Amino acid sequence: MDWIIDASTKLFGVVGRNIQYSLSPHIHNYVFRKTGRNAVYLAFDIPEERFQYLFPALIELCEGLNITIPYKEKAIEFLEDLDPIAKAIGAVNTIHKGVGYNTDYKAVEMFVKEYLRNIDRDICYIYGAGGAARAAAFALGKLGCRIVIINRSRWRAEKLVKDLAEYGIDAEVGESCKNRSRVVVNATPNPEIVPEACLDTDLVIEFVYRPIETPLVVKAKMKGIKVINGLEILVKQALEAQEIWFGKVTVTYEEIIGYLYAGKFVW
């Protein structure tokens, strides 16, 4: 069908900083076209000094939003309410009608259940302490994993550990990977931050998706470790966002992955 923007077109978008690389417009506009929705999805690249002025306007203008680096935590103060999971995590990546949600949490939870099933009392190392790291930590912690947070800024790692403890999740701050683990997560923008010593594990989760085959992903595959790459996380959480906005979505995860590769939007 033809895709026409008119006076009834609904506005959606992703809010972040330096997000010219974002695949979210490709993903969501593809879903809109496939499902016949009169909607358009844009990227809103907002400087930090203007966020407090522009973001409230976008909440009012847009039917739904996604939030990415560096605003997943900062966005909360502008929202009317939070989903219970997002409230616990302290970070949002999806907004609908003034309410914040966290679909990164759902993506990690679903993939880990599919790949490993039981991780109760196992060690999970997480690099990072920002919004994505918080979502991964709460998802893995709720599945029973003992969380070790490794982060350049120790105070942020300590705050995350304290927040996890308030929800009964076993967590500590670490300096490096000292023991065998079940899961290693890179939730930082640096795909080279995880050292080789950490790859004594069963599953690697990489949030970076440009490129898809990051140094971490390549090393993990060479060692025969199961990998969830950044594109898989991105698409899974995007579909969860679509369900929050519209309910049941008929476009599949596999269709979107195929579309992105066919259009050479990923490499």
Query: Residues 170, 247: one domain?
Result: no
CATH at residue 129: 3.40.50.720
CATH at residue 29: 3.40.50.10860
Has this prediction a pTM greater than 0.85?
A: yes
Return d(Cα 165, Cα 77) in angstroms, integer: 23
Residue burial 253-262, b: 16+ Cβ < 10 Å; e: rest: eeebbebbee
pLDDT average, residue stretch 146-153 = 96
213 pLDDT more than 90: yes
Return d(Cα 196, Cα 202) in angstroms, integer: 14
Query: Residues 97, 127: one domain?
Result: no
pLDDT average, residue stretch 188-199 = 94
Q: What is the structure's pLDDT at 191?
A: 87
Residue burial 113-134, b: 16+ Cβ < 10 Å; e: rest: eebbeebeebbbbbbbbbbbbb
Q: Which domain holds residue 217?
A: 106-228
Query: Residues 130, 215: one domain?
Result: yes
**pLDDT tens digits for 87-97?**
999 999 999 99
Q: What is the structure's pLDDT at 267?
A: 82
Of 245, 249, 206, 236, nearest to 94 by C-alpha is 245
Query: Residues 18, 76: one domain?
Result: yes
Query: Residues 140, 252: one domain?
Result: no
Number of domains present in the structure of the chain: 2
Q: Is 10 a catalytic residue?
A: no
pLDDT-derived band of residue 203, with 50, 70 and 90 as boundaries?
very high
| DSSP one-letter string for the chain | ------TTPEEEEEEESS-TT--HHHHHHHHHHHHT--EEEEEEE--GGGHHHHHHHHHHH-SEEEE-TT-TTGGGGG-SEE-HHHHHHT--SEEETTEEE-HHHHHHHHHHHHHTS--TT-EEEEE--SHHHHHHHHHHHHTTPEEEEE-SSHHHHHHHHHHHHHTT--EEE-SS--S--SEEEE-SS-TT-S-GGG--SSEEEE---SSSS-HHHHHHHHTT-EEE-HHHHHHHHHHHHHHHHHSS--S-HHHHHHHHHHTT---
**Numbered residues of the known binding site for NADP(+):** 128-132, 207, 230
pLDDT average, residue stretch 133-139 = 98
Q: Which residues contact 43 (CB under 8 A, 6 or more apart)?
A: 13, 14, 16, 19, 20, 22, 24, 25
134 pLDDT more than 90: yes
Catalytic residue among 72, 106, 219, 236: 72
Q: What is the structure's pLDDT at 1?
A: 52
**Numbered residues of the known binding site:** 22-24, 68, 93, 104, 128-132, 207, 209, 230, 237
What is the average pLDDT value for the chain, to the nearest integer? 96
Query: Residues 51, 73: one domain?
Result: yes
